[in-house]
Structure 1
Amino acid sequence: METTHVAHDAARGAAEREAIRQRFLKVDTSNVADVLDTLGLFDQGLSSAFTPFPANGGKLAGWAYTIRGQMSPYALGGDPDKMKACAGVSAGDVTVWSGDGEGVCYFGELIAIGMKERGCVGSLIDGGIRDIRWIAAQAFPVFARYRTPVQSIARWKVNGWQVPVSIRGATSQWVQVRPGDFVLGDEDGVLVIPHEVLDTVLLQAERLTEQERSIRVELQQGLSLADALAKYGHV
């Protein structure tokens, strides 16, 4: 089995990681996407097929912990590699599930509970989810490509974790997600932010967010849209 264990952004301590994550929770994916464009990173958006389950499940923000699998018939009784993969998750991580599964559930209530106990802050699933009502009770954000009651046991098996994976993209067929990249998802969709530019993206997105707040205030006070665009430029 191909497995590469990667340090979780080892240069940052737990407190710094959480502070960064909380700051990202205050910016919109739309602003972050605009910043990524200015950096020449035009294909970091994920497919519009990814939606939150439930719809009001909350914002997704955290470091990518990747898990990969494939359709592979096997005997009933569970997937031990799936449990091994999940055991490596740390606080502030978002588990990113990838693979060629179709029509089956990669992720359900019990995995969500186990992830949350380890400090995981959400999951992104390029595949199926079930137990949606019960996951909602956990207040655990999940974005997935589809829902299904059909379990993965005997059908889909984990074959790697903490390796680069490919997730369906918005403006490209695939977006690469590496361990330690940052995942951000809200009502507009999901982005993957390469870890090399994380600090730059955050600072610029915060500046853009503050600028938009100023524009909204001035518009409410009577400034015309034309005058706002003349003052602030395109936003």
Structure 2
Amino acid sequence: MLPENREYTIPREEIRHLDITDLERIERFKKAGYGGNVSDSLWSLGVCDTVLSQRFKALRQGMQLVGRALPVKLHTLSIDTSYLPGESLDKFYEDYLDGREHPQKIMMRTVASEPDGSILCFDCGGDMQPAHFGEMSCQLAYAHGCRGMLLAGNCRDTQYVLKMQDFPMYSFGTAPNAFGGWIVTDVNVPAMLPGHVTHYVTIYPGDFIFGDNDGVQVIPKDIVDEVLLRVEAIYEKENKQRQMLADGMPIDQVYAEFGVL
């Protein structure tokens, strides 16, 4: 469904917007958000088709992946067998590109040209043979404002990625080999990543990504702030409820005041 065709439970003119930066959005989502209240906020707006596949796993528990989606499409590339193991593939890519700029450079330039707070979202086309991203690429992206990675493929160099201060990585798996044959084909265009309740979820440039221990969700860009405000309201309400429960509120009173928890 195209963003402009999506229907919500409230009129579009009632959707709230905040005059804040994406880095501020990220911090507020990290403080108040978790998978459940993000999902409930989306559901209250009529959105239930943006949960991503359970195959996406964080490199470690406790990571929060929050930021503005920068989708990237990859394509499997068969390496010419004349390039034998041990030989540099630079000549292969030079021949393949035939004078065109390397698309990974275009991708990194896009990261650098946009406001801080992007999340690289890789559509790998189902290719699971090589590692598609490594720590040095993470370092380069982070230095230019990227704040995480959503990878429908493999990552590598994970012991060093885990040492980075603030670069959460969610992927389908890990692999040590970079060889195998793939190349970036499109940057900052809609991409389709495997979904949980739908076969695929289309991620549009500027959508927001929210991932934690429960999984990863896409927040359509036109309701990011509306979702954030609803998440914060749930957070405040539930903190009060938690204290009441901890103080021993009687069961009947709990259900009378809060409903089904």
**TM-score, with length taken from structure 2:** 0.80
Matches within 5 A, 1:40-51: 40-51=46-57
Q: 1:226 to 1:150 in 2, by over 3 A?
A: farther
1:120 paired with 2:125, answer no
Partner of 2:222: 196
Instruction: Judge conservation of contact 1:219–1:225 (CA < 8 Å) in 2.
Output: no
Q: Does 2:69 match 1:64? A: yes
Within 1, Cα distance between the matches of 2:251 and 2:189? Answer: 47
Match of 2:157 in 1: 131
Question: Which segments of structure 1 move beyond 6 Å, counting only runs of 4 or more?
Answer: none
Q: Within 5 Å, which residues of 2 pair with 1:130-149?
A: 130-139=156-165, 140-149=167-176
User: For the Cα contact (< 8 Å) 2:68–2:209, is it kept in 1?
Assistant: yes
- Give the C-alpha shift of residue 43 in structure 1: 1.2
Does 2:111 align with 1:85?
no
Distance 2:245 2:62 in 1: 31
SS at match of 1:46: coil
The two structures have a TM-score, normalised by structure 1, of 0.88
Q: Deviations over 1:12-60 (max 9, x none)?
A: 88x622211111112112101011111111111111111111x146211
- Which digits, 9 at most, give the CA deviation of each residue in 1:80-110, with x for residues without a partner? 2122212211411011111212222111111
* Higher mean C-alpha deviation, range 171-180 or range 90-99: 90-99
Identity %: 28
- How much has 1:221 moved relative to structure 2? 0.5
Q: Determine the structure 2 residue equivalent to 1:208.
A: 234
Gaps of 5+ in 1: 1-10
Aligned to 2:26, which of 21, 29, 39?
A: 21
Task: Say if 1:57 and 1:136, in contact at 8 Å, map to a contact too.
Answer: no
Distance 1:12 1:108 in 2: 35
In structure 2, the CA distance between the partners of 1:12 and 1:118, relative to structure 1 (3 Å rule), is farther
The aligned residue for residue 177 of structure 2 is 150
Quote the residue 1:97 is aligned against. 122
Gaps (5+ residues) in structure 2? 1-16, 81-88
Contact map agreement 2:18 2:225 (CA 8 A) in 1: no
TM-superposition CA deviations, 1:190-226 (whole Å, max 9, x none): 1100001111111111111111111110011011344
Q: Aligned pair count?
A: 222
User: Which residue number corresponds to residue 244 of structure 2?
Assistant: 218
User: How far apart are the structure 2 equivalents of 1:12 and 1:36?
Assistant: 17
**1:227, 1:147 → 2: CA distance?**
49
Aligned-residue Cα RMSD (Å) equals 1.9
User: Does the aligned pair in 1 maintain the 2:62–2:212 contact within 8 Å?
Assistant: no
1:141 maps to amino acid: P
